[in-house]
Amino acid sequence: MKQKFNIDKMKEIMQKKKLGNTELAEKLGYSRSNIWRILNKGVTPGTNFINCLLEFEPDCKYEELFVMEDDENEGNYGTNSGSIKVSQ
């Protein structure tokens, strides 16, 4: 299992605040292309972005911004997938 950014939660925040990519980018101090990459390419945002998002939406908890997913490389020891495996 690996931890992945919860894009649906970010979209939920955007809907709640009635913001598009451009407006959210302006509010957080990021470019519209950064927002697009997170939403459409699955780019994992950095710590600074996550902190800005949590400040922007104080009702959101850090834990809500991440979900656990099956790792397609699970069991392939010796591969460097860049993610942390979590035992259950």
pLDDT digits (tens, 9 = 90+) for 20-29: 999 999 999 9
**So what's the pLDDT on residue 75?**
56
Mean pLDDT of the chain: 85
43-78 burial: b if 16+ Cβ within 10 Å, else e: eebeeebbebbbeebeebeeebbeeeeebeeeeeee
**So what's the pLDDT on residue 3?**
87
List Cβ<8 Å contacts ≥24 apart for 49-54: 52/28, 53/10, 53/13, 53/28
Task: Assign a CATH topology to domain 2-67.
Answer: 434 Repressor (Amino-terminal Domain) (1.10.260)
**So what's the pLDDT on residue 74?**
56
**So what's the pLDDT on residue 42?**
85
Ranges under pLDDT 70 in the chain: 72-88
* DSSP structural state of residue 64: G
The residue ranges of every structural domain in the chain are: 2-67
